[in-house]
Every structure is written in C-alpha cells, then in structure tokens.
Chains A and B, each alone.
Chain A
Amino acid sequence: MAANSAPVANPDSPLLAEVATGDALGDLRAEASERRDAGQAVRAASPNVGEIRVGFVQVSGATASLSVCRVDDSVVYELATGNVANATVATQNYTLELALVDGQWMVSGVTQVQRWEGVAGCALADADFPY
C-alpha cells in the first residue's frame, strides 16, 4: 500500500522491489503509475473488514506457489479533492508464485483466480480447509 498511498503513488518506490520481482514487479509499478497519473491514492477503510488468508502452500526448491484469499476494502480516493473513487468491498482469490531471491521470498507472479462482490467465496470457506 505504501507505493499507492498519499501523498502520491510512487512507482519507483524501492519498497516494491523488496517484495516483488519479474512480471509481478512490473505489474506493481504499472499500477502505481496509473494511480499516480490519475491523481489517486489508496487508504485503509475505517472500520476495516479487510482480511488476507494464505493457504495451499506448495514449495519446490527455490519457487513456491500459494493461494491468497483477500477481502479488499481499501478505499481509492482523489488526492486533490479527497473524494472517494472506489470504496466497494470485494473478495478475491489469487494464486501467487514466489521465487527465492538472495534468501528472500519475492512474488514473481500473480494470477487472479476468482472474484466476488462483498465478503464471499473463499472468505467464507470452512475453517477445515487450508484457508
């Protein structure tokens, strides 16, 4: 979120390169650029219903794959006016691919698998399941 937060989204934030590599890093930077060019930033919702659950972790040598269920309630707003551009809540099911780079796991690919409006889908999954 730091790269997309006020005062202005920063696609060159070194924070991005600390967590992502390859295509994923490119996507992050592109998103931050779009956000900056649109004069928008992202902030946490208040009250906050956001949630991230990780499961189905598979590790194979220096790569890994995992599923992430995210309830996204972050708020996109216009920097100039403070007007909210998007405050909808959505649930997303992603597959993240990780690569071990210099001893640190970094995201190398993100694939959105599913999406629902509101808190739904994977966020309601039985606790017996891996997430």
Chain B
Amino acid sequence: MRVGGRGLPLLIALTLLGIAAPAGAEDGAGFGVRDGVVDADAGSHTPGSGGSTSDGAPSRCTWRVVIADDLTKGVFGPSGERLYSDTGRWLQKVCDGEVEIVDGLFVIPEGGSFAIADLLEQARRTLDPPDPTWSASPNGTTVPMVTQLPTWLWVDGDYWHGGFSARASTPSGRVWAEARATPTSALWQVGDGSTVFCGAGTAWQAGPQANSSDCTYTFRHSTAGTAGTPLSVSVTFDVAGVTSLGGTAELGALTRTSPPALVQVAEIQAIESNGR
C-alpha cells in the first residue's frame, strides 16, 4: 500500500531515531495483519460493498485486518479518545490492490466502534438505585414515636450495602464500563422542618443505651389530632466508573429519596404529684 502525504522518509527516519531500545519493549502478540486478510467479496457480510471498475467489471475487493487487537494498537476519535471495535479488529477495504476509503475512514471497526467515555455515560444513565428503605424505633406506625425521647433512624442494611451498579458494554462484552454507586450519606426529613444528616444509622437492638445511635431525632410535638408527620430519607451516592481497561472515573453523585411516610408521635403525659 502506498501511503499518501508528505515526507514519508521523514516519518520513518524520525520514528527509527525515536526507538531507543525496541528490544527492551514488551513482547506483544506478534503480527497477524498480513496473515489476516479477510476474503470478502462484494456483498458479503463484511461492511461496505465491492463496487465495480470503470469498465463495469466487478472489482475484486477484500477486507484485510489492519488492527488485530485494538487493546494493543490505538485507534482514535477526532478528539483523541480511544475507540474500540466490538471484536477488537479494524478492517481496511482493498479493491484491486488499492486501499479504498469508506465513509472517509481508512479503517472500519468490526461490529461498530465504541468509546469508553460513551460506555461510562451509558452506564451512568442506566444506573438507577431504587428508593431507600428505612426503619425507625419506635417505628411510628404500630408503635408511635415519643416526644422528648430520641427516635432511632436507619437506612436498611440491605439497601445501604446493596451494591447498586450498572454496566454498559460492547455487544460482545469485550470492552465494558460500569457505574457503581456507593452510599455516603442520608438526609432525613422529619416533617416539622427539621433535618437529620447521618450515615447509614444504627439498627436498634435491645440492650444499648437509647442514645448510642449516631442517627436519632427527638420530636418535640405530638401529632395527636393529625394524620401524622411525613418522614422520608434521601440517600446520596458517590458514583464511580470502572472499566474493563482498568481505568476509573468519578461520575458524580446521585440521590434517591423515599416516599414520605406518615408517622405518629405521641406525648407521654406525666402528672407531678408534689413529690409523691
């Protein structure tokens, strides 16, 4: 193949000068390009069409593998982003011995091309943790919460440790990106305008002191005579991206909020009896 452009000798000379010690470089998988000629006459399953010569005779076109594994050879988008085909192979169409540019491209991705940033974005969009589930003690439904006493609040462990993730990949799964959500905080709206900012909280168990949780709220007013006070929790996640290539990425944060649940708060009346 002839290579267009200016100063090919310069390219070759400078490239060779720049190779200080190729023998010390990492051994690779070797070369499969020359042996990888794909016989792909016009109309075959390979991309593009064969076309014809100027005299109307059908041209003999083949697809040859220029990049056998795009993990070990770079193919780039116009902004410098790495591109990966579904199979790892990139093909070049050769008709009657001449390279044919297809849709402005020298090489065509086998099975489509994919950029990691796009896969990460797709995974991030797909990631959809459910609304949080939570508990309280007292629970405010079967047993009312009590004014002046701390109510324990916690996000259910199965939810907090749910390990929510979403993956986007090439059709073959050869290259993939995954968005993983890690909960970092919980913000409780307790219905009277107050908020409580916590981590997961601590599930109540019989025994510990009532104030041993790091996530409690003490109601000051009874809900007697009302439908109750709406209680909800918003869990915020840090979203991290990981890829099959070993890279990581920060994908921001997302929040999920439970639907408000009406809870009852009771007041325990005490009658002081003059010291008796």
Chain A positions near chain B (C-beta within 8 angstroms): 1-4, 15-16, 19-20, 24, 27-28, 30-32, 42, 52, 54-60, 63-70, 72, 74-76, 86, 90, 92-98, 105-107, 109-116, 120-126, 128-131
Contact = CB atoms under 8 A, between A and B. Distances in A.
15 contacts: A2-B13, A4-B6, A31-B8, A54-B15, A55-B74, A58-B28, A58-B29, A72-B11, A94-B3, A110-B3, A110-B8, A111-B33, A122-B74, A124-B76, A124-B80
Nearest to B78: A120
Contacts of A69: 74
A92 B6 CA distance: 11
B30 A58 contact: yes
Given A113-B90, A115-B106, A60 B27 contact: yes
Contacts of A60: 27-28, 30-31
B271 interface: no
A130 B77 CA distance: 15
A66 B33 CA distance: 12
A24 B6 contact: no
Given A19-B16, A112-B3, A95 B11 contact: no
Grouping DSSP codes into helix (H, G, I), strand (E, B) and loop, the A interface class, with mixed when no group exceeds half, is strand
B18 interface: yes
SS of B interface (majority): loop
A65 B10 contact: no
Interface of B: 1-16, 18-19, 22-23, 25-31, 33-34, 66-67, 72-82, 90, 92, 99, 105-107, 247
Contact of A70 (B11, B23, B30, B90): B11
Contact of B76 (A32, A68, A125, A128): A125
A20 B15 CA distance: 11
Contact of B13 (A19, A57, A66): A19
B7 A114 contact: no
A66 B247 CA distance: 23
Nearest to B79: A124
A125 B74 contact: yes
A32 B8 CA distance: 9
A120 B5 CA distance: 16
Given A27-B2, A63-B31, 14 more contacts: A19-B9, A30-B2, A32-B9, A57-B19, A59-B28, A64-B22, A105-B16, A111-B33, A112-B3, A113-B90, A113-B106, A114-B107, A116-B78, A122-B74
